[in-house]
Every structure is written in C-alpha cells, then in structure tokens.
Amino acid sequence: MIEADIWTSLLAFLVAAASPGPATLAVSTTAMARGTRAALWAGLGLSLGLAFWGVVAAAGLGAVLTESATALFVLRLAGGAYLLYLAWLSARSAIAPRPEHVPTLQGEGGRLFGRGLLLNLTNPKAVLAWMAVLALGMQAGTGTAALLVTTAACAVLGGAIYAAYALAFARPAVRAVYRRARRGIEAVVAAFFGYAGLRLVAARNDMP
C-alpha cells in the first residue's frame, strides 16, 4: 500500500535527519548561544537546503549526480571548505571573551538563514541519503503522485526535526549550561566541524 510505503520512508528519514551531525549541531549551538528565534532561522535555512536535495533526488537527478565524479568532487570540496569555515567561526568564538549580553536578532536572521541553507546545500551526502530513503519506500510501479507526497512529507519532517532541536536547546536550563561551559562547547564544535570538513575533502567519490 502507498501509505505503508510512505511510512517506511518517513521512518528512515527521521533516523537519518535526527541523528547527530553538522546540521543538528549547527541548530543546537545556535539555540544555546542565541535563543529560539535565531535557531529557528538557522533551522529554516537547513530545511530548505535539505528539501532542495529531496527534489533533486525525486526528479531522478540524484542518480546523475552520483555518477558524475567531477560533480561530486566539486560539491565535496565546497562542502568541506564550508565546514572548515564553520570550524573557524566556532574556534574564534571559543577564544573570544564572554559577551556582556546576547546580541539582538535584528539584522541577523538572514545571515543565520543563509548559513543553514549553505550548510545543507554543500552537503553531498544529503542527496545520497534522500535516494536511499525514497528507494526504501518506493516500490516498482509506484506513481509520481506517491513519490511527490513522500518527498514533501519528508521535507516537512526535516523542518520539524530542526525546529524540535531549536526549541529543546534554547531552554533556559540548557542555555545556562552553555554560558558556563561556552569555551569548551565551542571548542568541541570547532573540532567536530573541522574533522567533518577534512574527512569530506579527503573522501573518495564512492563514499557511502
């Protein structure tokens, strides 16, 4: 049944999108450092970037991309470079003096949105994850309508996941812990982004 196929894809997508990684880490640290609204802006950018790859995969272009060594190479370099840039930002935050107050969101929403958007747009593994998720739920003979519904449902689920991370990590108790351990947390985040960026740059084209 189509319904069962959709639920299979949704479950697989939930596991893939909610698992700890650069995107969930980015929205979580934004929530701890800047609060709910800032994290939701970042999450919106992440959601649109993720949805873009869903459309690419559903349109059949994902298979074309994964077969192109040049396209994967360029995308991998761009993604690795951007992760290294985020590592640098986190490292700079770790060594900076503690701010007297949290900056207001005025004028910052667009920047946070753009940062989240770029993070997922430059992630070559996103399209591979989408292809796997859609393949799990789609059977031979499945119609275009079911494919579109599944893609849209997964995209909405992705946005809900990022929003949940934003709300959870913006709680006062969590933010209080962040303020006390800001340098250590940002240093760990910098190390994670740096490792992920270097690993992405060094990965082979047949990465899983």
Assess if residue 46 is contained within a domain: yes
Whether residue 126 lies inside any domain: the answer is yes
Classify residue 207: in a domain, yes or no: no
93 domain-assigned: yes
Domain membership of residue 136 as a residue range: 2-202
The tens digit of pLDDT for each residue in 65-94 reads 667 777 778 888 888 898 899 899 889 888
Task: Using alpha carbons only, give the angle 39, 158, 71 rounded to the nearest 5 degrees.
Answer: 100
Give whole-number Cα distances, 32 to 61, 75, 81, 206, in Å: 37, 30, 25, 36
Enter the pTM of the model: 0.82
The answer as to whether 100 is a domain residue is yes
Tens digit of pLDDT for each residue in 114-156? 999 999 999 877 887 888 887 776 654 556 777 788 889 999 9
Spell out the residues 6+ positions from residue 39 whose beta carbon is closer than 8 angstroms to its own: 27, 28, 30, 31, 165, 166, 169, 170
User: 107: left (phi > 0), else alpha (psi -120 to 50), else beta?
Assistant: left
**pLDDT at residue number 207:** 46
Residue 94 lies in a domain: yes
Rg over alpha carbons for the chain, rounded to the nearest Å, is: 18
Question: What pLDDT, on the 0 to 100 scale, is given for residue 76?
Answer: 82
Structure tokens at 168: 């959870």
Look at residues 155, 195, 204, 173 and name the one whose alpha carbon lies nearest to residue 25: 195
Q: How many domains does the chain have?
A: 1
145 within domain boundaries: yes
Phi, psi of 88 (to 5 degrees): -65, -40
In a domain, 122, yes or no: yes
Q: Give residue-wise pLDDT tens across range 170-184.
A: 999 999 999 889 889
